[in-house]
Structure 1
């Protein structure tokens, strides 16, 4: 399989890099929708360190028909730290046989526990919250209209409710969260590009801080506060006490975001989006449970993540302070 893929890569890269030989082809991960491979493309006078992301089929390309390579090109031009796209084809009608993109390989670490605990990242950790604010503000300034390249989501709460109700598996804590979120909706904001999964694990970090923002496949046009709420959710702190991905505070994040041109989001507004983030993660864990129970997936990782439904319920209860809880029950 690797030899066949190497030959297909050489053909696909010919237009961008000329004649190259593929070396060191190594699979890094194999998710439900796509695989990630590391390799070198060696020309007569230069060696290119690259990453391939290949979807399993044209049908699994991306949610909502997102043109992720085009979005990454837009992000790079807009000053966001992202890998440079070398070649891509989202049609699936290519030598690789599926939608794919090849990007420059950036050195760094994405495993949260290493970033949050290894001494080699101690200096980087001190500046991560400022980096997060800078990158999110840059993302939210990107100019990309909804349409063929990226879809718009006007009401993310309604999306989660639809997904939750489809399971026909009531969870009273989630029902309470839906009620509170519906009653306490925050102000609307000018729609913009939203990363959709900006969190520890999708951010590449080196000794100097954020090296690249990865995994844009859930991006959409929506409220910028979504990304802030998702980032501060307790699920992405990986056992650390810092409120923002295990480092820093919510206030520091909002200050850094605003200092880089982001909107003046308040702590109360952020709490609403953090609650939605917890609820969204809870719905995702429910989906993993359903896939395992119904035989659609044999992944042990998915089964284990599915057990975290109760952890998400606990996170929701932490956010439903007594005065908030009383209003939701009224």
Structure 2
């Protein structure tokens, strides 16, 4: 083994040792081994590792989630674990959380261990591969029904959920950026002047979209990535699904999959609510602005040296894409 190979293997060996300790505690007495620990190249704000845990001669394919170095101070994997548990109890397709903890010396910080759900997460494959042709015909409605179940979760059962005015929080974010972004300023003013009446207060997933779900041959297999969950207007999640960035070249306004009526109709059927389509458009504009500002933030993490990452740097170029999309959206609504 070369010195470089040795340095690369050390974190995996240390994490494997920590996982053995954690899973032994969870399952009590028994023989636990961890093999095939592999870093999965997915996500810009979390580390994801796939591995196999053999417990008393039975193999279990599992996933480990970790915070990245330099992650935001308000990030909480323990809250994410609580959300996945609540989602599963509410009938939302979700991985099963096996263990969660904070500041583990070997694993490397806060962590969540969950079962590995078979299926596809890559949007291009979900939207184009023949394997998912049948799943695509039902996926838009499944996402609407699932979101209705999600919004029935009592947010008071999840400690520490952020709850603040969305426009005020993004105004602060915009004010903190050290370069002019006039399109974002214009969009924020448009949103402030046309804000719809709040439809209610609910648990909002915050990143409900293609790319944060697992799809199998039957359609929706799991909802992932709860790190941006908060308390807010449930229509925020519907508008976020309509943001152009999450269509990945697909024709449907909802995640490249279907039109708004199919998605919202399924949500209405599952929730019993009547959805104001104009309010969904407002949240679509809000979501486009929000994603643009997140792109600025992610690029700054790389540029500042807090987290050196080609992926974070590449996200920075999407700032201009969101500026263009905002101008297109607002062109007929000034």
Same fold, judged at TM 0.5 (above): yes
Seen in structure 2, the aligned counterparts of structure 1 residues 131 and 9 have a Cα distance that, compared at 3 Å, is same
Superposition deviation, residue 15 in structure 1: 2.4
Residue ranges of structure 1 left out of the alignment (5+ in a row): 326-330
Assess if the C-alpha contact under 8 Å between 2:77 and 2:227 holds in 1.
no
Equivalences for residues 211-226 of structure 1 within 5 A: 211-226=221-236
CA distance in 2 between counterparts of 1:144 and 1:291 reads: 30
What is the aligned partner in structure 1 of residue 56 from structure 2? Answer: 44
What is the aligned partner in structure 1 of residue 185 from structure 2? Answer: 175
Assess if the C-alpha contact under 8 Å between 1:29 and 1:36 holds in 2.
yes
What is the aligned partner in structure 2 of residue 328 from structure 1? Answer: none
Superposition deviation, residue 319 in structure 1: 1.3
Superposition deviation, residue 269 in structure 1: 0.7
2:280 is aligned with 1:270: yes
Equivalences for residues 131-170 of structure 1 within 5 A: 131-145=142-156, 148-153=159-164, 155-170=165-180
CA distance in 2 between counterparts of 1:252 and 1:147 reads: 30
Residue ranges of structure 2 left out of the alignment (5+ in a row): 1-9
SS at match of 1:107: coil
Superposition deviation, residue 296 in structure 1: 4.0
CA distance in 2 between counterparts of 1:189 and 1:66 reads: 29
SS at match of 1:106: coil
Superposition deviation, residue 46 in structure 1: 1.7
What is the aligned partner in structure 1 of residue 138 from structure 2? Answer: 127
Assess if the C-alpha contact under 8 Å between 1:237 and 1:245 holds in 2.
yes
CA distance in 1 between counterparts of 2:157 and 2:197 reads: 21
Superposition deviation, residue 265 in structure 1: 1.6
CA distance in 2 between counterparts of 1:65 and 1:299 reads: 21
Seen in structure 2, the aligned counterparts of structure 1 residues 287 and 57 have a Cα distance that, compared at 3 Å, is closer
Please report the RMSD computed on the Cα atoms of aligned residues, expressed in angstroms: 2.1
Assess if the C-alpha contact under 8 Å between 1:27 and 1:35 holds in 2.
yes
What is the aligned partner in structure 1 of residue 111 from structure 2? Answer: 100
What is the aligned partner in structure 2 of residue 232 from structure 1? Answer: 242
CA distance in 2 between counterparts of 1:7 and 1:173 reads: 50
What is the aligned partner in structure 2 of residue 70 from structure 1? Answer: 82
Seen in structure 2, the aligned counterparts of structure 1 residues 306 and 57 have a Cα distance that, compared at 3 Å, is closer
CA distance in 1 between counterparts of 2:180 and 2:273 reads: 36
CA distance in 2 between counterparts of 1:58 and 1:309 reads: 21
Assess if the C-alpha contact under 8 Å between 2:92 and 2:149 holds in 1.
yes
CA distance in 1 between counterparts of 2:272 and 2:313 reads: 38
**Runs (4+) of structure 1 moved beyond 6 Å?**
none
Aligned pair count reads 322
Moved more, 298-307 or 198-207: 298-307
